[in-house]
Amino acid sequence: MAIASTTISSWEQLLEKARQNTPARRVKRPGQAPSTAPIPSSLHKLPPDRKPPVLLYRDSNSWCPFCERVWFALEEKEIPFETEFIDLSNKPKWYTDLVPTTLVPAAYIEGKLVYESKDILLELEERFGETLLPENLQENAVARQWVDDAETNGFRDIAYKFLRQPPEDANELANLQAEFEAKLDEIEQALSRYPGSYFLSTFSLVDIMYSPHLDRLAANLPVYRGYHIKENPRFPLINAWFVALNQRPAYNRVKSDNITNNLLLRRRFGVEPIGSPLPLDLADAELIEYRAEAAERLSDNREVAIGDILKNSGVQSLGDISIIKDSVDFHLRLLADYLINGNGQLLPGGRTGGKESIDPILAATGAITLAYVRNRICAPRDMSAGAATAFRAAVDKILTSIY
Ligand SMILES: N[C@@H](CCC(=O)N[C@@H](CS)C(=O)NCC(=O)O)C(=O)O
């Protein structure tokens, strides 16, 4: 059995076409995890041979909401930086010796070691201009107070208790929900104090302090608690804030997508879903820049992806490894081709007719490959949240079209 010749483009053609439609690029990290890393959008501003002024230590999977705050600020402030990834399941001794809390994020900022996300954010303001704090002195003081409050006002503890703690009974769940809603009411009120959609009259560190947490809660509560923040009429200002935030290019680079958040919560914290996943954002999934970014990532990093699928998805038990490998490669190319060219390409080579003529080994390899990569990719570790959404939507489309 071999995969017949096909009209689907080669990897080189796919990569070239994808790159014409997206500026997104990452550096490859051969043999390391993660296998790619984003290139900070302002790195090109640095004169050649000059080291970036900031070195950020962050978690290797890009799941940490506190690291997200710092990355968000660095992108907003257009500060060139380099990243060193720390494996939190096996922290290197040099790191635990270096950072007293042993937590991420930490950073060297112009040679000074700073840790605790809040302190890193304030140090960046101190050294690179207060672009994320209001100019008006009174408002500036309010901003600093709210940045402090975001760490101490109990919002996070109450929110994550509602999300993660298995409730004894319906009564306890209702109480946790009520406590959480009272905290959201406080945020809703804070958002009403200044004109515009942000906490203060301009976008600021306060938005950055809350964004990774509110985003994760909005993604996970529908699935794990059947509770919705988005489109909840009780919180119109929080909803307007989400809309404003999502218009910021820096946020779109650093945020994660709903499914990444959902899978992480289940895997890391064992929370049982009681609701349903939010539907994929099909507006993102249709945008050519996100589709092209997803195709670019897949084409450029295909060797690592194929190696991972062969090792971890279970396909290798299906038969001769070289045939399976060809089939995995073929189905990933099919996915990249569909992401860039859309429509019309959905019959894999070797399949001459409708669904009934599918070779069972090819069909099984394809189904496993696609289902595996759908949940394996992780935003923003592997690609932006928008690209990850386009990627997952394309997998769904192919699976329903050919199986
Ligand atoms: N208050 C810290 C919290 C940082 C934190 O909790 N980081 C987590 C990752 S999300 C961590 O390093 N966990 C590793 C560990 O607990 O050993 C901050 O704002 O920076």
**Which of 67, 96, 103 best tests ligand 1's pocket when mutated (most atoms within 8 Å of CB)?**
103
**pLDDT band per the 50, 70, 90 thresholds, residue 276:** confident
Domain assignment present for residue 82? The answer is yes
Task: State both tokens at 259.
Answer: 């499914």
Q: 183 pLDDT exceeds 80?
A: yes
Q: 309 pLDDT exceeds 60?
A: yes
**pLDDT band per the 50, 70, 90 thresholds, residue 7:** confident
Mean pLDDT of 379-403: 95
Domain assignment present for residue 108? The answer is yes
Q: Are 193 and 158 members of one domain?
A: yes
Q: 343 pLDDT exceeds 80?
A: no
Expressed in angstroms and rounded, the spacing between residue 113 Cα and the centre of ligand 1 is 16
Domain assignment present for residue 21? The answer is no
Q: 348 pLDDT exceeds 60?
A: no
Q: Is 88 in the pocket of ligand 1 (CB under 6 A)?
A: yes
Q: Is 117 in the pocket of ligand 1 (CB under 6 A)?
A: yes
Mean pLDDT of 328-335: 96
* pLDDT given at position 352: 40
Expressed in angstroms and rounded, the spacing between residue 49 Cα and the centre of ligand 1 is 33
Q: Domain containing 304 — which CATH number?
A: 1.10.490.20
Task: State both tokens at 300.
Answer: 């450029």
Expressed in angstroms and rounded, the spacing between residue 64 Cα and the centre of ligand 1 is 7
Q: Is 64 in the pocket of ligand 1 (CB under 6 A)?
A: yes
Q: Say how many C-beta atoms besides its own lie within 10 A of residue 280's C-beta.
A: 18
* pLDDT given at position 350: 42
* pLDDT given at position 8: 84
**pLDDT band per the 50, 70, 90 thresholds, residue 277:** confident
Q: Are 116 and 146 members of one domain?
A: no
* pLDDT given at position 4: 46
Report the percentage of the chain scoring pLDDT > 90: 85
Q: Are 105 and 162 members of one domain?
A: no
Q: Are 57 and 108 members of one domain?
A: yes
Domain assignment present for residue 269? The answer is no
**Which of 58, 60, 64, 149 best tests ligand 1's pocket when mutated (most atoms within 8 Å of CB)?**
64
Q: Concatenated DSSP letters for 112-171? A: EEEESHHHHHHHHHHHH-STTS-SSHHHHHHHHHHHHHHHHSSHHHHHHHHHHSPPSSHH
Mean pLDDT of 48-57: 95
Q: Are 144 and 232 members of one domain?
A: yes
CA 333 to each of CA 45, 346, 395, 399: distance values in angstroms, whole numbers, following the listed order: 35, 11, 12, 14
Report the percentage of the chain scoring pLDDT > 70: 95
Domain assignment present for residue 61? The answer is yes
Size of the chain in residues = 403
Q: Are 241 and 294 members of one domain?
A: no
Mean pLDDT of 104-127: 98
Contact between 294 and 308 under an 8 Å Cβ cutoff? The reply is no
Residue 17 makes CB contacts below 8 A (sequence gap 6+) with 9, 292, 295, 340, 341
Residue closest via CA to ligand 1's atom 12 equals 103
Q: Are 298 and 234 members of one domain?
A: no
Q: In the listed set 108, 128, 148, which residue is the last one of a domain according to the structure?
A: 128
Q: Which of 270 and 53 is assigned the larger pLDDT?
A: 53
Nearest ligand 1 atom, CA 63:
10
Expressed in angstroms and rounded, the spacing between residue 287 Cα and the centre of ligand 1 is 34
Domain assignment present for residue 260? The answer is no
Task: State both tokens at 285.
Answer: 């999934």
* pLDDT given at position 355: 52
Expressed in angstroms and rounded, the spacing between residue 299 Cα and the centre of ligand 1 is 33
Domain limits for position 45: 28-128
Q: Are 83 and 113 members of one domain?
A: yes
How many Å apart are CA 121 and CA 67, to the nearest integer?
A: 10
Block residue for tokens 């879903």: 273
Q: Is 116 in the pocket of ligand 1 (CB under 6 A)?
A: yes
Mean pLDDT of 251-276: 93
Q: 270 pLDDT exceeds 80?
A: yes
Q: 65 pLDDT exceeds 90?
A: yes
Expressed in angstroms and rounded, the spacing between residue 115 Cα and the centre of ligand 1 is 10
Residue 307 makes CB contacts below 8 A (sequence gap 6+) with none
Q: Are 227 and 157 members of one domain?
A: yes
Q: Are 291 and 392 members of one domain?
A: yes
How many Å apart are CA 376 and CA 399, to the nearest integer?
A: 16
The domain tally of the chain equals: 3
Expressed in angstroms and rounded, the spacing between residue 236 Cα and the centre of ligand 1 is 31
Expressed in angstroms and rounded, the spacing between residue 363 Cα and the centre of ligand 1 is 43
The rounded mean pLDDT for the chain is 93
Nearest ligand 1 atom, CA 105:
20
Domain assignment present for residue 252? The answer is no
Mean pLDDT of 193-215: 98
Residues 25-46: pLDDT tens digits? 999 999 999 999 999 999 999 9
Strands across the sheet containing 112-115: 81-86, 54-59, 106-109, 112-115
Q: Domain containing 64 — which CATH number?
A: 3.40.30.10
Q: Domain containing 185 — which CATH number?
A: 1.20.1050.10
Q: Are 369 and 312 members of one domain?
A: yes
Expressed in angstroms and rounded, the spacing between residue 247 Cα and the centre of ligand 1 is 28
**pLDDT band per the 50, 70, 90 thresholds, residue 349:** very low
How many Å apart are CA 273 and CA 267, to the nearest integer?
A: 12
Q: Is 105 in the pocket of ligand 1 (CB under 6 A)?
A: yes
Q: In the listed set 128, 155, 182, which residue is the last one of a domain according to the structure?
A: 128
**pLDDT band per the 50, 70, 90 thresholds, residue 110:** very high
* pLDDT given at position 353: 45
Q: In the listed set 104, 128, 152, which residue is the last one of a domain according to the structure?
A: 128
Domain assignment present for residue 5? The answer is no
Task: State both tokens at 307.
Answer: 């190696």
Q: Is 104 in the pocket of ligand 1 (CB under 6 A)?
A: yes
Q: Are 326 and 370 members of one domain?
A: yes
Q: 5 pLDDT exceeds 50?
A: no
Mean pLDDT of 91-118: 98
